[in-house]
Each structure stands twice: as structure tokens, then as C-alpha cells.
Amino acid sequence: MLRSIRNGEMSARGASEHVTPVDDSGATRPALLARIAIASALGLFAAAISWIATHRSGFGIPDFHWWWVGARALLDGQNPYEAVPRVIGPAFHLYHPMPAILVAVPFALLRPDVALSLFSALSTAILAFAVTRTSYARLPLFLSASFAHAAVMGQWSLLLTAALFLPWLAFLGAAKPNVGLALLGTSLSWRSALAMVLFAVVSLAAMPSWPREWLTQLPNSPYHFSPLRTPVGFLTLLALLRWRRPEARLLAVLGMVPQSPFVYEALPLFLIPRTRYQAYALVIGSDVALGVYVLSRGIDQSRFFWINGVAVVVTMYLPALVMVLRRPNEGIIPSWLDRATAVLPQRFRGREPLAAA
């Protein structure tokens, strides 16, 4: 009976374990007002850089405008997967599922440029508030090119990274299922999985045929491919040697799922650093990868995507992998997974943290 109770406790703790503890020994827990002030300031900064960057001549179309257009089409009674909007033109293809469109609906009531800045501001503020819950050690992520690129483009990675720290945001994984899988791999939480499924089911009320329409569009996307397709991408699977750790599972799943080969997609990797210096290593890596992005613009599209995919893996995924492999394979996991992995050799099974034991 004691063993059963203990397994139940482990399962509950494993399901709620989303983040890696940072090395903040001796640090004072941030005050609520300080967190709110930091979140507000960074939110305003994100709004400013997205506004300034996207209004420069020749910038092009920021990513947020694509799902803004889908949401606007839905409000106008059109099929978002067939609309040919004025904002983007005949090149428009919607590669996001209906939950992403529903989240964007309130923003579609505004001008697209205003909506983009507001979306980036709110997403950034939520992320900043989330990462300062226990310390300031993860604030360097806001110095990264991953953050800046995500804020300028209005990318989902801001909110989905926040969901790694705030489980109640897990339902947003349905808006971008590839990263949603990484969220589930990190938390191993059935509640998070249920929240995503329920959001997807509820979205059927807006358009019952959207799953078919969406799946029809996906094969046409030139923007999404797995980091495994790069020459060194397979190395990210080595993170599974530390599979008990949530950050290791995050890295392994992100290394497998299709995604855009740009630095904004790598923002969730900032879950992995445990010290400011490790965070700065990823900041520098993201800056280098963005430099490759800038220098390679204008070349053949397929080669452009491939070069940027390699740059992100080398400068961000591999440093994150080194951080993970330097840690022991220990962590609290649900009891069902503990039983399922009992057949593994002891050296691969890992162990519970000594403090938990």
C-alpha cells in the first residue's frame, strides 16, 4: 500500500514537472510587482520592435499576418483555407489548424500591423512573467535573436515557450501541433494532452471540415522540415540518453518534428539552461544563426531553408545537447512510464532524484 501511495505521488509530480530548476542559490525570489514591471516593459519593447521593423520598406509580410488573414476570412464567412486575401495575395496558403485561427480572431478586429504589435506585446509579457516565477536567471533569453525574431514576426513560439512554465497555457499546443508534441513530451501530462484535444474538438464548431482542409495544405508547405534532415540533426536524438529529464525530452522531440528552420522556432530551447552563462551561450548561438539568416537571404529558396536549418542546429541545438548530456539521467516520471521502461538496462533506466527518493 505504501508503495502504491508513493507511486501515485511520483505520477502527480511527474505530470506537473515542466521546467528545469535554475541555479539560483542565494537569489531572492522575484517580487510580484517586479515581475509585472519587467513583463510590461518587455511587452512594450516587443510591440515597438515589431512595429518599427515591419514598417521598414521592403520588409515583406510578417508571419502573424497569415493567421490574421485566416481569422479575418472566418469572420467574413469565408473558408480560411481557400481565401485569397488582399493583404497577401494569391500566394496565401494557411498551414495552421483552426485553433490558431480562433486565437487570432480577436486580433482580426484590428488593422494587421496594430494586431501584430499587440500580439507580440501580450505574448512577450506573458513569457516574461512566466520565466521570472522563481528567479531572474532566464531573463537573458530576451537578449536573444530567437526572441527578437519571434517578436518581430509575431510567432507562436513566444506563447508556447511560456506554456512550458505555465501548464494552464498547454491548450495552445493545438494551435501549433508540432510544438504541442514537444510540450507533451516535456510534461508527460495527460491534462495538457486533454486540453489540446478539447480545444481542437471545440474548434470544429467554427468549421467542421477544417481538419481535412488543413491536412490538404500541409504537403504543399516549403517552410517546414525536421532538424533531423540536416547533416548533424541526428545528434539531437542523443538527448534521449537523459530521457528522464523534461528538458532532454523537449530537445529530442523538437529535433524530430517538422518546423520552420529559423531561430524563432528554437526559442523553447531556453528552457534548458540552468545558469545565466548557459543562457548566454544560447543567446550567442541565436545571434550567429540570425546572422546566417541575414547573409543568406536572396539565394535559392530551398538552399536558403537548408542553410538556416543547419545553422540553427549547430549554434543552438548542439550547445543545448551538451548542457543536457552533462546532467545525470534522473527525474520524476509517471508510474506508467516507470513500469513500461523496466525492461531497459539499469544504465539506461536512470533513477529518481535523490531528494525525491
- CA–CA gap between residue 215 and residue 74 (Å, rounded): 18
**Considering only CA atoms, which of 135, 186, 215, 202 is closest in space to residue 19?**
186
Let me know: does 279 contact 273? Beta carbons within 8 Å.
yes
- CA–CA gap between residue 295 and residue 293 (Å, rounded): 6
Rounded to 10 degrees, the C-alpha dihedral 299/301/303/305 comes to: 120
CB atoms within 10 A of CB 84: 12
Let me know: does 192 contact 173? Beta carbons within 8 Å.
yes
| Buried b or exposed e, range 10-45, using 16+ CB within 10 angstroms | bbeebbebbbbebebeeeeebeeeebeebbeebbeb
- CA–CA gap between residue 345 and residue 107 (Å, rounded): 52
C-alpha cell at position 186: 516535456
Rounded to 10 degrees, the C-alpha dihedral 270/272/273/274 comes to: 130
Q: Give pLDDT, residue 164.
A: 94
Helix/strand/coil (H/E/C) assignment for every residue in 19-73? CCCCCCCCCCCCCHHHHHHHHHHHHHHHHHHHHHHHCCCCCCCCCHHHHHHHHHH
Low-confidence ranges of the chain (pLDDT < 50): 1-17, 25, 357
Rounded to 10 degrees, the C-alpha dihedral 324/276/173/167 comes to: 100
Q: What is the pLDDT of residues 204-235, one digit of tens each?
A: 999 999 999 898 888 777 777 889 989 999 99
Let me know: does 272 contact 320? Beta carbons within 8 Å.
yes
Amino acid at 200: A
**Considering only CA atoms, which of 97, 115, 131, 112 is closest in space to residue 207?**
97
Q: What residue segments make up the domains of the chain, in order of their start?
A: 30-326
pTM: 0.89
- CA–CA gap between residue 313 and residue 278 (Å, rounded): 16
Q: What is the pLDDT of residues 99-148, one digit of tens each?
A: 999 999 999 999 999 999 999 999 999 999 999 998 899 999 999 999 99
Q: Give pLDDT, residue 345.
A: 83
**How far from 297 is each of 45, 197, 300, 303, 306, CA to CA, in Å?**
26, 38, 9, 10, 12
Alpha carbon 4 to chain centroid distance?
35
Residue-wise DSSP of 147-164: HHHHHHHT-THHHHHHHH
